[in-house]
């Protein structure tokens, strides 16, 4: 992917989210800003990460919410309506350990069959980092605060809260790995 595709991704996300879900759009823009910070770490895949970052939540748009499981709705929309790049679609489908949430929803087999997880764990972890260090309003935060915010928002025992409790160690490990890469960046 290149810069042109990243601009296309931003236009698509803006069109679907800005008017109907302005806060979700603010979050998506913030996640995309974190991706810019990681461009050096990602090298040739920087534009792919930027595209996935801005599009990762597009399936929350009411008109796209077919299953109600937003990673799957996002990925199907990008694949079926826009014929998007296979790696972009698979990255979005699996963002922030979506497989674990899919399991809570009985959708794990569906997600795995349609959108296998990318083997490039750096890209996968980078998207976890971008999403989990950005507040719902698009501000920068820590992964610990973000996890606490999600738990509080969805409520104990809900599908999302159960998922986030299970995924927390992996989320923190992924974020820690990316932070270590950022700390090693030459200045
Ligand atoms: Fe997100």
CATH number of the structural domain spanning residue 94: 1.10.3210
Please tell me the distance between residue 143's alpha carbon and the centre of ligand 1 in angstroms.
12
DSSP element (H, E) containing 182: helix 159-183
Span 24-41, average pLDDT: 96
Cα–Cα separations (whole angstroms), residue 22 to 13, 25, 103, 129, 187: 11, 5, 29, 22, 35
CA of 135 to the centre of ligand 1 (A): 8
What are 79-130's pLDDT values in tens digits? 999 999 999 999 999 999 999 999 999 999 999 999 999 999 999 999 999 9
**pLDDT score for 57:** 98
**Residue 166 is part of which domain span?**
3-183
What percent of the chain stands above pLDDT 90? Answer: 85
CB 175 within 8 A of CB 133: yes
CA of residue 184 to ligand 1 center, whole Å: 26
43 CA → ligand 1 middle, Å: 23
In this structure, the number of other CB atoms found within 10 A of the CB of residue 112 comes to 15
DSSP string, 90-109: HHHHTTTTHHHHHHHTT-HH
Q: What is the mean pLDDT of residues 138-150?
A: 96
Task: Please tell me the total count of domains within the chain.
Answer: 1
Residue 1: what pLDDT?
A: 62
Q: Taking residues 14-28, report their average pLDDT.
A: 98
C-alpha to C-alpha distance for 31 and 132, rounded to whole angstroms: 8
Cβ-Cβ contacts under 8 Å for 67 (sequence gap 6 or more): 73, 107
Per-residue pLDDT reduced to its tens digit, 77-89: 999 999 999 999 9
Q: Is residue 3 predicted with pLDDT exceeding 80?
A: no
């Amino acid at each position: 992917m290149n810069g042109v595709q990243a601009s296309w991704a931003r236009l698509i996300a803006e069109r679907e989210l800005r008017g109907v879900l302005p806060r979700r759009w603010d979050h998506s823009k913030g996640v995309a800003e974190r991706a810019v910070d990681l461009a050096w770490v990602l090298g040739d895949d920087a534009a792919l990460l930027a595209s996935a970052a801005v599009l990762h939540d597009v399936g929350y748009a009411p008109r796209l919410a077919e299953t109600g499981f937003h990673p799957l709705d996002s990925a199907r929309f990008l694949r079926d309506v826009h014929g998007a790049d296979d790696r972009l679609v698979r990255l979005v489908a699996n963002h922030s350990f979506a497989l674990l949430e899919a399991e809570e929803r009985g959708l794990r087999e569906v997600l795995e069959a349609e959108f296998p997880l990318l083997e490039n764990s750096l890209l996968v972890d980078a998207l976890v980092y971008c999403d989990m260090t950005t507040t719902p309003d698009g501000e920068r935060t820590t992964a610990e605060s973000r996890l606490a915010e999600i738990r509080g928002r969805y409520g104990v025992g809900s599908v999302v809260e159960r998922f986030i409790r299970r995924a927390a160690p992996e989320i923190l490990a992924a974020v820690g790995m990316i932070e270590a890469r950022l700390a090693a960046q030459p200045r």
